[in-house]
Chains A and B, each alone.
Chain A
Amino acid sequence: MKLTGKTALVTGAGTGIGQGIAVELARRGAQVAVHYNRSADGALETKRRIEEAGASCMLVQADVAHKPNIDRMVRETVDRFGTVDILINNAAMQLNYDLFEYDEEQFDRMMAVNLKGYWQCIQAVVPCMKARGQGRIVNISSVHGKRPTDFDPVYAMTKGGIRMLGRESAIELGRYGITVNTVEPGAVDVGKRSSMRSAPPPPANVAKPKSRPRDIRRKFPLGRIGLPGDVAHLVCHIVSDESEFLNGAAIRLDGASMLL
């Protein structure tokens, strides 16, 4: 599954899943535009690992809640690499407010980044892909596109919207040779997310509860939670030539944890 000569744009690639995807695409030969918003240090680390793999990399900062930012991001990518063959929509927020805590500003911000941003990134790369008669778009969503979170209703609303954005885009853009698929990861070990509200620290005299192997086994049939590399491998398969007929799919990638 060589991606030599392909240009990929990965949003939210300064941390976690996006970083894992960007590095794996590079390992397979793609040149990668690494988008970040606030994770500048993380983006530099992504770039270092991509260049270590012998691939070309550029960094581009943008707030995907704003279309002019998105248009600039794609323009800078095209100026440097000539086109965009692969778009990985991954930049998303999670605020972890409950139904009664959300205010209007937070609701609008979540919709702007997680949902409108995904659509407008797709819209911005379509001209490149259409001109070449081919393209691969992968939306990184979540198992919470189907299963409620019980901790962030607006996050789940955005993921439910992404499911339909993926289906609509797949039937609309297929005629240009562009495929659009959705990956729905379950729990992935990404370290602490900067956009996430941090939990209050436990009192000093209380030991942090540890996940025992038995608990992990009860929740995850494979005995572990997901890793960014798991998502990256699936994404690389979807964007490869082997997946030309895969379109409009939503693939749950959770080690079967949602089935328990």
Chain B
Amino acid sequence: MKLRDKVVMIAEAGSASGMALIDRFAPEGARFILNSEAGTDALVPALEKLHAAGCPAIAAGADLCSPRETAALLDRAERELGTVDVLIHNRRAVRPAMVETCDEERFLSVLNANAKSAFVVTQAVGRQMAAKRSGKIVYIGSIHAEKPTGASFAYSVSQGAIKMLCREAALVLGRHGINVNLIELGPLEGDDVRFRSGISALYEDYRYKVPNAVLGTYADVANLALYLSSAEADFLNGADVRLDGGFLMHYMDHKMKRPQHETTGGAP
């Protein structure tokens, strides 16, 4: 088991990626701090399943943009499970937002949900990890830390900020024996809708722009996150690992790997 008795905190455990992370990490012996800003209701099934399997776990609905709520959650978790060994930050709020027309509320809601929560939780968990001189932090980010969307600029701005947070934290926390890395994820099923754009054709035929014509899944993410959270990745620090099947390498449409019967159109 790769995470025997390790305390794993999942920032947004109620999301699809959160569920995949729980499923992948539980058999490895982890103990869980499950958080969801939406509250604990959505976490009940996962919590019951973990308890039934004998996995220690707690659920919380802390706002990770609030240093006070984050500290309170970590205090409670320390009493019930211990201090955090692995932090997975997987909040990825996307809202349509154009540079020209977006309003301030929308911009800040996306920036804070993604980048501010990452900073606040890194600071709080980083203190715990620095005190015990070990830990792993993994941000589940996006290929849009590099590639503009033409649909949700606030999202890509927040991803650019997280990318630099990862590099800063890798230096500062690295001196305390902590590894900090970033997964730049995409494309997943539904991203053509999530990032629908009148400007960028990036997501047209997007499945076939992945050289092997398959989209990513949250199980792929969980596999990589597990590796980054384990002792096997002790020398990996400050890296951005692009998990996109080669999507961003694409640029010649006529070479796309399409099924023989299909000549145009989107994903089947």
Contacts and interface: CB of A to CB of B under 8 A. Distances in A.
A215 to B, nearest CB: 22
Interface stretch (B3-11, B33-41, B116-124, B221-229): B116-124
B187 interface: no
A9 interface: no
Contact of A172 (B144, B163, B169, B199): B199
B77 to A, nearest CB: 19
Contact of A120 (B104, B162, B167): B104
B87 interface: no
B90 interface: no
Interface residues of A, number: 45
Interface stretch (B43-51, B149-157, B245-253): B149-157
B120 A104 contact: yes
A102 B157 contact: no
A1 B40 CA distance: 61
A153 B99 contact: no
Interface string A147-164: 111100110111111111
A33 interface: no
Interface in A15-31: none
A248 B238 CA distance: 26
Interface string A112-131: 00011001101100100000
B82 to A, nearest CB: 21
Contacts of A153: 119, 164-165, 168-169, 172
A53 interface: no
A121 B147 CA distance: 22
A116 B107 contact: yes
Interface in B228-246: 238
Contact of B99 (A115, A145, A172): A172
A159 B164 contact: yes
B161 A115 contact: yes
Contacts of A122: 99
Interface of A: 67, 98-100, 102-104, 107-108, 111, 115-116, 119-120, 122-123, 126, 144-150, 153-154, 156-165, 167-173, 175, 248
26 contacts: A99-B123, A99-B168, A99-B173, A104-B120, A108-B116, A115-B157, A116-B108, A116-B111, A144-B164, A145-B160, A145-B164, A153-B165, A153-B169, A157-B162, A160-B145, A160-B162, A161-B111, A164-B148, A164-B153, A164-B156, A164-B160, A168-B99, A168-B156, A171-B148, A172-B99, A172-B199
